Amino acid sequence: MGDMERIAYGSDPSQFAELTRPSGASRGVVVVIHGGFWRAQYDLSLGRPLAASLAEEGWTAWNLEYRRVGNGGGWPQTPDDVSAGIDKLAEVDGLDLSRVVTLGHSAGGHLAVWAAGRQRLQPWTDAKVPVTAAVSQAGVLDLAGAASLGAGAVEAFLGRCRRDAHARRRRPLRRHRPTERGVGDDGAAARGPVATTSQVQPAASRTIESTPHGR
């Protein structure tokens, strides 16, 4: 496993990612997107152990930070950053982008699946780097259904005046096959469409039991 390299994709202090390369040939790029209610008190340190493990298994890990609620994030700033952070991979030397997988936990699982379909959504249709697979670990995929959880986390993320009108429209695209379910932020059941992988390749549908984790 190589040394971790910090790379900025914008001017804001939260617009950066940590790149960790495997010691040998890369099996592909995994974009790690941390959870934490989309809130600023949680950061990409949550994803560092996973990024290190992925690199040890032969993957190039791109542990992505982004603006969150409380430090300039929310809708649409947070998805703007996720998209821009993924697109930054096109400027990093020595990467094979034929396989780019987004992997996120809880709120990060929502963003991981959203990123996989972003090129079908305005204003992200010109995104440079397509996502070839998405893994959602107990992702909060039904924002309308999760509106009462996390002390108003969904409302804070979407904005009060737009929450009810747009929550369902802002779910990840239904084109992803339902495969994994678990328990997300504050005990939120993961609902809605999810794409998952077995060794980051298409897998049959399955149900995974998990426990509440509080973020």
Domain count of the chain?
1
109-164, pLDDT tens digit by residue?
Answer: 999 999 999 999 999 999 999 999 999 999 999 988 898 888 889 999 998 545 44
Distance in angstroms (rounded) separating the CA atoms of residues 44 and 36: 10
Residue 208 inside a domain? The answer is no
Is residue 44 within 8 Å of residue 64, measured between CB atoms?
Answer: yes
Q: How far is CA 51 from the centre of its chain?
A: 13
Q: Which amino acid is at 157?
A: F
Residue 113 inside a domain? The answer is yes
Residue 140 inside a domain? The answer is yes
How much is the pLDDT for 207? Answer: 31
From residue 6, alpha-carbon distances to 2, 21, 96, 108, 170 in Å are 13, 12, 19, 20, 30
Coil/strand/helix, residue 40: coil
Residue 200 inside a domain? The answer is no
- For residue 64, the tally of other CB atoms under 10 A from its CB is 30
Residue 195 inside a domain? The answer is no
Residue 194 inside a domain? The answer is no
Q: Which residues pair with 137 in a beta bridge?
A: 105
Is residue 29 within 8 Å of residue 60, measured between CB atoms?
Answer: yes
Is residue 118 within 8 Å of residue 85, measured between CB atoms?
Answer: no
Please name which of 115, 118, 93 lies closest in space to residue 104, comparing C-alpha atoms: 115
Angle 77-87/107-116 helices, nearest 10 degrees? 60
Residue 161 inside a domain? The answer is yes
Residue 197 inside a domain? The answer is no
74-92, pLDDT tens digit by residue?
Answer: 999 999 999 999 999 999 9
Domain residue limits at 171: 5-187
CATH number for the domain harbouring residue 165: 3.40.50.1820
Q: How far is CA 18 from the centre of its chain?
A: 14
The pLDDT confidence band at residue 188, using thresholds 50, 70 and 90, is: very low
How much is the pLDDT for 170? Answer: 54
Evaluate the CA torsion angle 147, 131, 1, 201 in order and state its sign.
Answer: positive
